[in-house]
Amino acid sequence: MKTAAGLVHHFLEKSARLFPGKAAVVHEHNRADYAWINGWANRLAHGLIRAGVRPGDRVVLVCENSVEYVVCYYGILKAGGIAVSMTTDIRPDGLAEALKELAPRVLIVSPKAGKAVRALDPISLGIARVMVIGPGPAAQSLRREAASFPEDLAACPEENPGLAIEPASCAAIVYTSGSAGRPKGVMLSHANITANTSAIIEYLGLTSNDIQMVVLPFFYVMGKSLLNTHFSVGGTVVINNKFAYTASVLKQMAEEGVTGFSGVPSTYAHLLFKSPLAAYRDKLPALRYCSQAGGHMPRSLKLELLKVLPRHTRLFIMYGATEASARLTYVPPERLEAKIDSIGIPITGVALKILSPEGNELMPGKIGELVARGANIMLGYYGDEEATKKVLDGDGYHTGDLGYRDEQGFFYVTERKDDQIKVGGHRINPREIEDTIIESRLASECLVLGVPDALQGRRLAGLVVPVRETAETIEGILKYCAAKLPKYKVPGSLRIVKDIPKTSSGKPDRGRSLKFFETDRVAER
């Protein structure tokens, strides 16, 4: 059932009309139905308007995945505000900088985010109000209590504010880090998000019977798409913030009859190497599909997943960018094995081209940049017209990914334009080496870098997260690489780490990772 919902919060309002008593969000002991969520989102919206929020005002939300997060996200949108959601791990100086740039009218924080906020002076930043909104310890067991929300909100009206908001106006700003430079605020309109949501619902075949297990943070654009898609169809979202305890996530998936699970590559690496997933093969009869986005997943992990997941569970490999709201392509599961390295075909409403540096479309098999057009392409980067012009032009959105298409219209990404490493005269694609390292089965995650070197300009080095660390791990990996790759592609050194440094959007942070090798240079002298 396709509907032209003009605004993002219409998803919630429609489902509250059609399925008021249905569980919309499940989080530990909380089971919040659509009517409850919509009612509180409305109260919050009215409260925000009373605090001075006008259409187009930014409202910053720093809150972990929870029922309260969902209420706040939609409440901000209903008030005509622009929702800017940030990680609760944000450091005080990072938050202060963002707040200066955004000049939000209201700041909403959960008790967990308290640390970053205590160091701030809201008044000097022009913030009209700071709201502290659960989940606190009292809120956890009291679903219907106003304990999670500021007292004055309980007196606000429960009705949809029904503001006349232009679908083309900005609904959200999502921060993303490129491979270099400070995080940029991607501005997404209501129309961007609703178009992308419809397209995703279509290829996943989502219905009101769908129940999504959410382990990814809502402040990522992928996390939000899980929320928006399921709210649009009147499904249910199960929040589990304890993915570290993989056994408990799988247990909950079985208990709740979860129909869909979504992850980024490290989620699946964790699931494959550090969880009883294999033992659950016969215990997840309802698991209709798993989906993967958020970056390149090595082929060996995809193949391993296909082996270990229940036979009836379809695996959707997907590709996108925050700048595209975020989905651009997907691989139809029945084609996955034949197109195992592909990022798939464009979703409805998206046109994807491979362009030469001069902007000419290339023939199948020729490598160029992936450039996308569609209703889901962002409005631009907040406060940064220069950066926006660099990626948005008459051809569309320049993804910064290099790749090609095949004769059947399937696309492939070979590497990120900026990640190419030049070592001793060779141009090296780190991804190829990273995939090889993962194939050795000795590491669950890795990152290959070009470390500055006095002699060669750059030398190849890598960070690895071992599956199970032993004295032979590094040697084993290097031996495997030497057997599979030409000599110049074998990293000169490897360092074992607990995890790969990630950017604020969850992608490997090459800049920060290089720091692991800085002391080496000093020692060399």
Partner 1 sequence: MPEYASEIRQYITDRFLFGDDEKLGDDDSLLDAGVIDSTGILELINHLEERYGIKVQDEELLPENLDTIANISAFLGKKTA
Binding positions for partner 1, rule: CB under 8 A: 89, 112, 241-248, 251, 270, 274-276, 279, 465, 469, 498-499
Q: How far is the CB of 138 from partner 1 (least distance, A)?
A: 14
Report the 10 Å Cβ neighbour count for 141.
Answer: 11
In a 13 Å sphere around the CA of 442, the CA atoms on its Cβ side amount to 21
Closer residue to partner 1 (CB): 89 or 341: 89
Closer residue to partner 1 (CB): 119 or 247: 247
Q: What are phi and psi of 100, to 5 degrees?
A: -65, -40
Q: DSSP class of residue 64? A: -
Q: How far is the CB of 88 from partner 1 (least distance, A)?
A: 9
Closer residue to partner 1 (CB): 458 or 495: 495
Q: How far is the CB of 499 from partner 1 (least distance, A)?
A: 4
Q: How far is the CB of 176 from partner 1 (least distance, A)?
A: 22
Q: How far is the CB of 14 from partner 1 (least distance, A)?
A: 34
Asked if residues 263 and 287 have their Cβ atoms less than 8 Å apart, the reply is: no
Three-class SS state of 174: strand
* Cα(86)–Cα(62) distance, integer angstroms: 5
Q: How far is the CB of 308 from partner 1 (least distance, A)?
A: 12
Q: DSSP class of residue 127? A: -
463-480 as b/e, with b when 16 or more CB fall inside 10 Å?
Answer: bbbbbeeeeebbebbbeb
Both tokens assigned to 259: 């129909």
Closer residue to partner 1 (CB): 208 or 241: 241
Both tokens assigned to 286: 């309802």
Q: How far is the CB of 361 from partner 1 (least distance, A)?
A: 43
* Cα(224)–Cα(88) distance, integer angstroms: 16
Closer residue to partner 1 (CB): 342 or 444: 444
Give residue 509's identity as a one-letter amino acid code.
D
Q: What is the DSSP string of 437-449?
A: HHHTTSEEEEEEE
Closer residue to partner 1 (CB): 161 or 295: 295
Asked if residues 210 and 260 have their Cβ atoms less than 8 Å apart, the reply is: yes
* Cα(458)–Cα(419) distance, integer angstroms: 13
Closer residue to partner 1 (CB): 215 or 352: 215
